[in-house]
């Protein structure tokens, strides 16, 4: 993982006291950034699995809370791997691979099961569409970085925003059990993804025009 700040998602939580505490604990435990990235996949799998169990097991609210926890722990791992790599001085040649590939897997393990948990053709289609859109937002960002050496992390539905929205959906399901909430949540995610892709592509086009002689 590069130490260049332009390649890292700007997160205020990265500079908090609790983030520093957990990074020190992980360093003392001997955890490596790549290991933490893989743990993020496990957390995403727990979250996605809990979503599927929530609609077929009781008490459903407990599984929805577990799903929300899995989603947030996935984000926690995504942040901590960067802290260990950069602030902890544990960068590796394969850091970028472990930074990007697990993210795409994590999106799949959360967005697709969330769609299936809705139990309708629409929710399932929207879940797969959200995954495709998530990959596309990352692709536009990576393409922009290859052309301009700068990563555009703008939203309104970048990875943290997607996971925050899913978490709200899970908490809403735990509180109400209102199944249409799943479709509403995924529809909002898809709409935000379309706007995000358009914004990133527009920013990239503007930068390329500015670089053109």
Task: Tell me 154's DSSP state.
Answer: -
pLDDT tier, 4 (very low <50, low <70, confident <90, very high otherwise):
very low
- Only one residue has tokens 């735990």, namely 174
pLDDT tier at 179 (50, 70, 90 boundaries)? very high
How is 17-58 classified by DSSP, letter by letter? HHHHHHHHHHHHHT--HHHHHHHHHHHHHHHHHHHHHHTTSS
pLDDT digits (tens, 9 = 90+) for 57-104: 999 999 999 999 999 999 999 999 988 988 778 888 888 899 899 999
Give the predicted TM-score (pTM) of the model.
Answer: 0.92
CB 84 within 8 A of CB 22: no
Closest CA to 98 of 197, 2, 196: 2
Q: How far is CA 51 from CA 28, 40, 61, 103, 129, in A?
A: 33, 17, 10, 19, 18
Task: Please give the biggest Cα pair distance in the chain.
Answer: 64
In the chain the domains, ranked by start, together with CATH numbers, are 16-211 (1.20.120.1760)
pLDDT surpassing 60 at residue 202: yes
Nearest to 54 by CA among 137, 122, 136, 114: 114
User: Cα angle vertex 132, ends 127, 138, to 5°?
Assistant: 125
């Amino acid at each position: 993982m590069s130490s260049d700040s332009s390649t890292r998602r700007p997160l205020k939580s990265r500079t908090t006291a609790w983030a520093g505490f957990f990074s020190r604990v992980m360093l003392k435990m001997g955890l490596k950034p790549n290991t933490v990235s893989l743990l993020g996949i496990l957390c995403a799998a727990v979250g996605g699995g809990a979503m599927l169990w929530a609609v077929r097991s009781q008490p459903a609210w407990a599984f929805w809370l577990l799903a929300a926890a899995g989603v947030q722990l996935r984000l926690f791992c995504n942040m901590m791997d960067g802290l260990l790599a950069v602030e902890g001085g544990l960068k590796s040649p394969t850091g970028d691979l472990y930074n990007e590939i697990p993210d795409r897997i994590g999106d799949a393990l959360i967005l697709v099961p969330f769609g299936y948990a809705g139990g309708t053709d629409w929710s399932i289609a929207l879940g797969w569409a959200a995954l495709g859109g998530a990959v596309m937002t990352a692709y536009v960002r990576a393409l922009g970085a290859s052309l301009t050496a700068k990563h555009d992390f703008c939203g309104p539905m970048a990875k943290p925003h997607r996971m925050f929205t899913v978490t709200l959906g899970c908490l809403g399901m735990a509180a109400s059990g209102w199944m249409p909430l799943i479709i509403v949540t995924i529809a909002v995610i898809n709409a935000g993804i379309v706007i995000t892709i358009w914004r990133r592509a527009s920013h990239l086009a503007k930068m390329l025009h500015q670089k053109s002689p």
